[in-house]
Structure 1
Amino acid sequence: MTLHKIFTQTSNLLSKLIPSMNWLLVITSVLAVLIATLYPFNFDFSGNLSIQAIISNFDNASSFEDLVNNILLFMPLGFSSNALLQKINIKPIRKFFTLIIISTSLSVTVEILQMFLPSRSPTPADIINNTIGGILGGICFYIWNSQSFIYILSSVENSRLKNSTKKISLLFLGYILLSFIVLIPWQITTNLSNWNLAYPLLIGNEKTGDKPWQGYITEIHIADKAFPENEVSQFFDGKKYLDIIGDHLIASYKLSDQRGYQDRTGQLPELLSQGHLTNIQDGKSVALSSSYWLKTGNPTTFLTKKIRKTSQFTIITTIATADTTQTGPARIISLSSGILRRNFTLGQQGNNLDLRIRTPITGENATDIKLSIPDIFIDTNFHDIVITYSQGNIQVYLDKLQKFYFFNLLQLIPKDQKAFYYALTFIPLGVCLTFLTILANKKLMFYRFLLLTGILLPSLIVESTLVIGSGKSISLTNILFGIFFTSGTMLILRLRASALVKKAALK
Structure 2
Amino acid sequence: MVTNQKTWHKYNFLFFIFTTLIILIATLYPFNFSKIQLFSLAEILANFNHSSTFQDQVNNILLFIPLGFSFASLLSKSTKRIIFKLLLTIIISFSLSLIVEVLQIFLPSRSPTPADLFNNTLGGLFGFICFSIWHFKSFRSTVESIKTSQANQSPKKIVCFFIAYLFLSLCISILWQSATNLSNWNTNYYLILGNEFRGNKSWQGYVSEIYIADKAISKNEASHSLSEPNYLNQLGKSLVAHYELSGKCCYQDKTGNQPKLLWQGQPVSIPESQGVFLNANHWLKTSAPVSTLSHRISQTSEFTISAAIATTNLDQKGPARIISISDSSLRRNLTLGQQGNSLDLRLRTPLTGENGTEIKLNIPNIFTDSYLHQIIITYARGTIQVYVDKLDNFYSFNLLDLIPKEQRIFYYALSFIPLGIGLSIITLLAQQRLIFYRVLFYSGIFIPSLMLESILVTESGKDFSMKNILLGISFTAVTMVFLRVRATQLKISSKNH
1:163 to 1:94, Cα distance in 2 relative to 1, 3 A: closer
Q: Provide Cα deviations, 1:296-316, integer angstroms capped at 9, x if missing partner.
A: 243333322222222221111
Aligned residue number for residue 70 of structure 1: 60
Structure 1: unaligned runs, 5 residues or longer: 1-10
Aligned residue number for residue 262 of structure 2: 272
Aligned residues of 2:307 and 2:374 also touching (Cα < 8 A)? yes
SS at match of 2:71: helix
Aligned residues of 2:54 and 2:358 also touching (Cα < 8 A)? no
Aligned residue number for residue 462 of structure 1: 452
Q: Provide Cα deviations, 1:407-447, integer angstroms capped at 9, x if missing partner.
A: 10100100111001110111011111112112221222111
1:435 to 1:178, Cα distance in 2 relative to 1, 3 A: same
- Give the counterpart of 2:29 among 33, 36, 39: 39
Aligned residue number for residue 385 of structure 2: 395
Aligned residue number for residue 405 of structure 2: 415
- Give the counterpart of 1:333 among 323, 334, 345: 323
Establish whether residue 106 from structure 1 lines up as the match of residue 96 from structure 2.
yes
SS at match of 2:181: coil
Establish whether residue 49 from structure 1 lines up as the match of residue 33 from structure 2.
no
Aligned residues of 1:78 and 1:137 also touching (Cα < 8 A)? yes
Q: Which amino acid aligns with 2:337?
A: G
1:66 to 1:269, Cα distance in 2 relative to 1, 3 A: farther
Aligned residues of 2:216 and 2:304 also touching (Cα < 8 A)? yes
- Give the counterpart of 1:471 among 447, 457, 461: 461
Work out the CA distance in 1 between the residues paired with 2:57 and 2:36.
30
Q: Provide Cα deviations, 1:243-289, integer angstroms capped at 9, x if missing partner.
A: 32211222222111323122223333322222223245455501112
TM-score (norm 1): 0.93
Establish whether residue 197 from structure 1 lines up as the match of residue 187 from structure 2.
yes
1:102 to 1:78, Cα distance in 2 relative to 1, 3 A: same
Q: Provide Cα deviations, 1:77-102, integer angstroms capped at 9, x if missing partner.
A: 11111111223332222222221221
Aligned residue number for residue 439 of structure 1: 429
Question: How far did 1:195 drift?
Answer: 2.8
Q: Identity of aligned pairs, percent? A: 53
Aligned residues of 1:104 and 1:131 also touching (Cα < 8 A)? yes
Q: Which amino acid aligns with 1:501?
A: K
Work out the CA distance in 2 between the residues paired with 1:57 and 1:367.
21
- Give the counterpart of 1:239 among 226, 229, 233: 229
Question: How far did 1:150 drift?
Answer: 0.4
SS at match of 1:182: helix
1:193 to 1:28, Cα distance in 2 relative to 1, 3 A: farther
SS at match of 1:183: helix
Aligned residues of 1:60 and 1:196 also touching (Cα < 8 A)? no
Work out the CA distance in 2 between the residues paired with 1:228 and 1:39.
50
- Give the counterpart of 1:258 among 248, 259, 266: 248
Aligned residue number for residue 426 of structure 1: 416
Mapping of residues 328-367 of structure 1, within 5 Å: 328-367=318-357
Structure 2: unaligned runs, 5 residues or longer: none
Q: Which amino acid aligns with 2:129?
A: I
Establish whether residue 121 from structure 1 lines up as the match of residue 108 from structure 2.
no
Question: How far did 1:241 drift?
Answer: 4.2
Aligned residues of 1:60 and 1:124 also touching (Cα < 8 A)? yes
SS at match of 1:120: coil
Work out the CA distance in 2 between the residues paired with 1:306 and 1:41.
39
Aligned residues of 1:115 and 1:121 also touching (Cα < 8 A)? yes
Aligned residue number for residue 366 of structure 2: 376
Aligned residue number for residue 24 of structure 1: 14
Work out the CA distance in 2 between the residues paired with 1:322 and 1:140.
58
Work out the CA distance in 2 between the residues paired with 1:337 and 1:122.
17
- Give the counterpart of 2:84 among 87, 94, 98: 94
Residue-pair matches, total: 497
RMSD over aligned CA atoms reads: 2.0
Consecutive aligned runs of 4 or more in structure 1 exceeding 4 Å deviation: 11-14
The worse-fitting range, judged by mean Cα deviation, of 490-499 and 260-269 is: 260-269
The worse-fitting range, judged by mean Cα deviation, of 475-484 and 333-342 is: 333-342
1:469 to 1:310, Cα distance in 2 relative to 1, 3 A: same
Mapping of residues 205-216 of structure 1, within 5 Å: 205-216=195-206
SS at match of 1:98: helix
Work out the CA distance in 1 between the residues paired with 2:353 and 2:305.
21
- Give the counterpart of 1:385 among 362, 368, 375: 375
Aligned residue number for residue 4 of structure 1: none
Work out the CA distance in 2 between the residues paired with 1:77 and 1:138.
8
SS at match of 2:106: coil
Aligned residues of 1:258 and 1:283 also touching (Cα < 8 A)? no
Q: Which amino acid aligns with 2:453?
A: E
Q: Provide Cα deviations, 1:192-228, integer angstroms capped at 9, x if missing partner.
A: 2333333322211223333221111101121221222
Work out the CA distance in 2 between the residues paired with 1:274 and 1:175.
57
Question: How far did 1:482 drift?
Answer: 0.5
Work out the CA distance in 1 between the residues paired with 2:110 and 2:243.
34
Aligned residue number for residue 503 of structure 1: 493
Aligned residue number for residue 8 of structure 1: none
Q: Which amino acid aligns with 2:462?
A: K
- Give the counterpart of 1:168 among 135, 151, 158: 158
Q: Which amino acid aligns with 1:341?
A: R
Aligned residues of 2:225 and 2:232 also touching (Cα < 8 A)? no
Aligned residue number for residue 49 of structure 2: 59
Work out the CA distance in 2 between the residues paired with 1:105 and 1:94.
16
Q: Which amino acid aligns with 1:475?
A: S
TM-score (norm 2): 0.94
